Amino acid sequence: MPNIRKVAELAGVSVATVSRTLKTPERVSPQTRDRVHSAVEQAGYRPNLMAVQFRSRKTRNLVVLVPVIANVFFARVISGIQEAAQSFNYRVLLCDTWGREEVETAYAELVHAHQADGVIQLRAFNPFGETCRHGDSLPPMVNACEVLDAPPCPSVRLDNRAAARAMTEHLLALGHRRIGLIKGPQGSPLTRERIAGYEDALREAGIAPDPELLCRGNFTLQAGYEAAGLLMRCADRPTAIFCENDEMAIGAIQRIRQGGFRVPQDVSVAGFDDIPFAAFCDPPLTTIAQPAEAFGRHAVEMLVAQFEQRPLDTPHLILPYSLVVRGSTAAAPRCPA
């Protein structure tokens, strides 16, 4: 039966290095990890994982709380989490919570029950409640994407206010003055920040925000479709519609066309996220690109740093965005149809 000494011989490292790689892979170089893992596979070695966990008091399980797993943006974040977790030899316990607080709290309890080592939360809710909020016996957690206003733990986010302002400024530069906004879920920090950026740009241009041009949404295709119908029925309809995510923008384009209008000749449409479908819409969607996979990778790295009790250079990381201009936005029509 293969043993750890055989693995060490094949990898060209010491038995202690093999042991360290299997127990705490984050403490060895990526090159060493690759050599040891290849040797383990070549030798057919199967370590006693229960014994390793008992000695190290680590399960090597990460809980990931996802509000809507069907959301394309979150799928990309999960891909980044999975990639990074595998590189550190962790398993991902993926929890589709639908944003239900009681479900998120129940999954977070896996950490207290020593069935998981930490949590990556992709929504603005603290599943550990008052314990985490006040910093007492803080369980390892990273808040990513939709971040709490006062995060009690490391976080990874985008400057959503600045990004929304940049998109609104793009539409203003094209001559649009009646710009509709299809919002995200009520109460979401993302929604609030993107509304603020939209209104910042309007006020800077000397335009008072019009409540009639704000429509509620929930980041789904159907929400964009329905909200666009409401906006296009306004007596003084918008010449541009900014949607707080790409899925709503795609739904909005469908509804606008069904109403006999053209995109972008009659109405420009813009989104947010730059999901893979955005470049293949008809017309291709102007949007804000954010590095979804990087959210996941950085979240895992921050969580592993907590396990190792290593200080973070940037505990609240803000990732860059970019404005991607495609065919769904154009100069405002002189006389709205």
Distance from C-alpha of 253 to C-alpha of 236, rounded to nearest angstrom: 19
331 assigned to some structural domain: no
User: Both tokens of residue 160?
Assistant: 């959503």
Distance from C-alpha of 149 to C-alpha of 192, rounded to nearest angstrom: 11
Lowest-confidence pick of 48-57, 79-88, 299-308 = 48-57
Cα-Cα-Cα-Cα dihedral sign, residues 184, 160, 69, 314: negative
- pLDDT at residue 298 tops 90: yes
Q: Say yes or no: 189 and 250 in one domain.
A: yes
Q: How many CB atoms lie within 10 A of CB 200?
A: 17
Decide: 61 and 93 in contact? Cβ < 8 Å. yes
Distance from C-alpha of 250 to C-alpha of 276, rounded to nearest angstrom: 12
Q: Say yes or no: 285 and 166 in one domain.
A: yes
262 assigned to some structural domain: yes
How many domains is the chain built from? 3
Residue-wise pLDDT tens digits, 221-261: 999 999 999 999 999 999 999 999 999 999 999 999 999 99
| Ramachandran angles phi, psi of 328, nearest 5° | -85, -5
| Ramachandran angles phi, psi of 219, nearest 5° | 70, 20
173 assigned to some structural domain: yes
CATH number for 32: 1.10.260.40
Q: Say yes or no: 71 and 104 in one domain.
A: yes
Contacts of residue 228, defined as CB under 8 A and 6 or more positions apart, other chains included, come to 182, 241, 251, 252, 253, 255, 256
Closest listed residue to residue 141, CA positions, set 53, 58, 62:
62
Residue 282: is it exposed, middle or buried by C-beta count within 10 angstroms (0-12/13-18/19+)? exposed
Distance from C-alpha of 92 to C-alpha of 85, rounded to nearest angstrom: 7
User: Both tokens of residue 259?
Assistant: 């109403």
Q: Say yes or no: 277 and 177 in one domain.
A: yes
Q: How many CB atoms lie within 10 A of CB 121?
A: 32
Q: Summarize the confidence of residues 57-62 as an average pLDDT.
A: 86
Residue-wise pLDDT tens digits, 172-224: 999 999 999 999 998 899 999 999 999 999 999 999 999 999 999 999 999 99
Preceding omega of 264 cis (within 30 degrees of 0): yes
- Give me Rg for the CA atoms of the chain: 24
Global confidence as pTM: 0.81
Confidence grade of residue 161 (pLDDT, cut at 50, 70, 90) = very high
CATH number for 217: 3.40.50.2300
324 assigned to some structural domain: no
- pLDDT at residue 135 tops 50: no
Distance from C-alpha of 299 to C-alpha of 286, rounded to nearest angstrom: 28
Residue-wise pLDDT tens digits, 9-53: 888 988 788 877 877 776 788 888 888 888 888 877 776 554 555
Distance from C-alpha of 67 to C-alpha of 45, rounded to nearest angstrom: 38
Q: Say yes or no: 238 and 179 in one domain.
A: yes
Q: Say yes or no: 201 and 228 in one domain.
A: yes
Q: Say yes or no: 153 and 240 in one domain.
A: no
328 assigned to some structural domain: no
335 assigned to some structural domain: no
pLDDT of amino acid 137: 63
337 assigned to some structural domain: no
pLDDT of amino acid 32: 87
**pLDDT higher for 41 or 324?**
324
336 assigned to some structural domain: no
Range of the domain at 12: 4-55
Q: Say yes or no: 49 and 145 in one domain.
A: no
Distance from C-alpha of 259 to C-alpha of 266, rounded to nearest angstrom: 11
Q: Say yes or no: 249 and 184 in one domain.
A: yes
Q: Say yes or no: 189 and 309 in one domain.
A: no
Q: Say yes or no: 270 and 194 in one domain.
A: yes
